[in-house]
Structure 1
Amino acid sequence: MPINYLALGDSYTIGTDVATTECWPRQLLNRLTNGGILPTAPEDTSLTIVAEKGWTTGDLLAGIKESDLLPAYDLVSVQIGVNNQYDGLTLADFKVEFADILGKALQLAGGDASKVFVVSIPDYAFTPTGGGQPSISEAVGVFNAAAAAIATRAGIIFCDIIVISRGGIREPALVASDGLHPSGLQYRRWVEEVLLNLVSTLLKG
């Protein structure tokens, strides 16, 4: 079965400061094919990423509108919101725009909610840049709770990777060389968490 995968997001989706092959959407697609989870040859897969470093929900909505996308995808992921929090944008606006993004993701998945999943925002307080600030953890938690509630209402899987991200201070290898973004190793652990949520859904297809 061919897999056309669309990943929507920001710097975490593109894998800032790691090799292109180490961003988590690419690692996920590789695990699905090379890991034998789906009977799909690597040459029968495609990955489209609509994401940029620093993007907020509003930026992502504009990016989706401006992108030349397929009518439908076999898998669509959404991970967005950290820059809304970092830039001090309102939670109310985030909720409206995030719901709009999920609506567009659902359309791009042919209306099948089982083909869409959300990945939580990591807790960047647990990086050298974040410095363990409790205020960051609290704020990220608020945005994640809002995203989880919106996804759940839409019948979309919410994959929570925040516990993994909180290993970044005690395990420096989980943080990229910029001291802020996850390393390829941390992304690999995210993929394992995503697979725990997705495998049964994917296999039934």
Structure 2
Amino acid sequence: MKSILSGLILLVMSQAFSQKPLRYLALGDSYTIGEKVPESESWPFQLTAYLRAEGYDIQNPEIIAVTGWRTDELQDSIASQDYKPNSFDLVSLLIGVNNQYQKKPFRTFKTEFEDLVQTAIALSAHDQKGVFVVGIPDYSLSEFAQDKSLKNVSSRLKRYNRYIQKISQRYGVAYYPLQQLSRPLHRDKVMLAEDLLHPSGEQYKAWVESFKENVAEQLKQF
């Protein structure tokens, strides 16, 4: 009996030590890389820090994102990486604000965004359980938007976010909205980076606070 018990303990220990750290891929644009803030203050890195504090062994996020990217540019970059399916445990997607800002056809966004969700699911080793989508924040109240006299930003972003939520639900992917949360934050300079458009680390912290526990719950399903 003692030898059997010892064997079981060794088996459990070997399995625990053989488990690899979780891999996280963050897909997006300026909001994902944290334009104008230190890397550690971007929301993917803040989320990762929280998950580690909760006891999850997770690597630093691998980020595919560039300021100004639209959905098509993100698609092209992912394709160039030649990732194998199931390469990551966790995959996040936040994209679309530049489609709106650059006034690209909404129908094109719809097709490309759905393709990106499918790609994210394919890249996760846990299918849709390992993916989450973050809605587009509302920059309409930022000083930048006010100075540029940008009109109808909020209503246009609502259209994008409604579709983002629809596709997320269609594919059974977690969706974390930001539009209502971010609107008042963009009035406060403390919540903005030096360009008075992009979020500061403090705003990213508020974003993470809104969905970090949900993401942790997702990881429990792995």
- Give the TM-score taking structure 1 as reference length: 0.91
**Structure 1 stretches of 5 or more lacking a match?**
none
Given that 2:124 and 2:131 are in contact with CA atoms closer than 8 Å, whether structure 1 keeps it comes out as yes
- Give the TM-score taking structure 2 as reference length: 0.85
Given that 1:13 and 1:51 are in contact with CA atoms closer than 8 Å, whether structure 2 keeps it comes out as yes
Tell me the SS of whatever aligns to 2:140.
helix
60, 69, 80: which one aligns with 1:55: 69
**C-alpha separation in 2, matches of 1:29 and 1:10:** 18
**C-alpha separation in 1, matches of 2:209 and 2:139:** 20
Asked if residue 18 in structure 1 is aligned to residue 33 in structure 2, the reply is no
Tell me the SS of whatever aligns to 2:175.
strand
Deviation of the 1:134 alpha carbon: 5.7
For these two proteins, the number of residue pairs brought into alignment is 200
* Cα deviations by residue, 1:137-178 (Å, 9 ceiling, x for unpaired): 001111111111011100001101222211234422111110
23, 28, 34: which one aligns with 1:9: 28
Tell me the SS of whatever aligns to 2:145.
coil
Equivalent pairs: percent with the same residue? Answer: 38
Asked if residue 102 in structure 1 is aligned to residue 121 in structure 2, the reply is no
Structure richer in helix, relative to its length: 2
**C-alpha separation in 2, matches of 1:167 and 1:183:** 14
Name the counterpart of 1:46. Answer: 60
**C-alpha separation in 1, matches of 2:212 and 2:151:** 29
Report the AA paired with residue 201 of structure 1: Q
163, 166, 169: which one aligns with 1:149: 166
Given that 2:45 and 2:60 are in contact with CA atoms closer than 8 Å, whether structure 1 keeps it comes out as no
Deviation of the 1:69 alpha carbon: 3.5
212, 217, 220: which one aligns with 1:195: 212
CA 1:146–1:39: 2 relative to 1, 3 Å: closer
**C-alpha separation in 2, matches of 1:161 and 1:100:** 22
Asked if residue 65 in structure 1 is aligned to residue 85 in structure 2, the reply is no
Name the counterpart of 2:194. Answer: 177
**C-alpha separation in 1, matches of 2:135 and 2:80:** 25
Deviation of the 1:202 alpha carbon: 1.5
Given that 2:129 and 2:221 are in contact with CA atoms closer than 8 Å, whether structure 1 keeps it comes out as no
Tell me the SS of whatever aligns to 1:3.
coil
For the pair shown, which has the larger CA radius of gyration, 1 or 2?
A: 2
Tell me the SS of whatever aligns to 2:184.
coil
Given that 1:167 and 1:174 are in contact with CA atoms closer than 8 Å, whether structure 2 keeps it comes out as no
Report the AA paired with residue 90 of structure 1: P
Tell me the SS of whatever aligns to 1:158.
strand
Tell me the SS of whatever aligns to 1:73.
coil
90, 96, 100: which one aligns with 1:75: 90
Farther off after superposition, 132-141 or 53-62:
132-141
CA 1:172–1:103: 2 relative to 1, 3 Å: same
* Cα deviations by residue, 1:10-30 (Å, 9 ceiling, x for unpaired): 000000010111111111111
**Structure 1 vs Structure 2 CA RMSD:** 1.7
Given that 1:81 and 1:94 are in contact with CA atoms closer than 8 Å, whether structure 2 keeps it comes out as yes
CA 1:145–1:21: 2 relative to 1, 3 Å: same
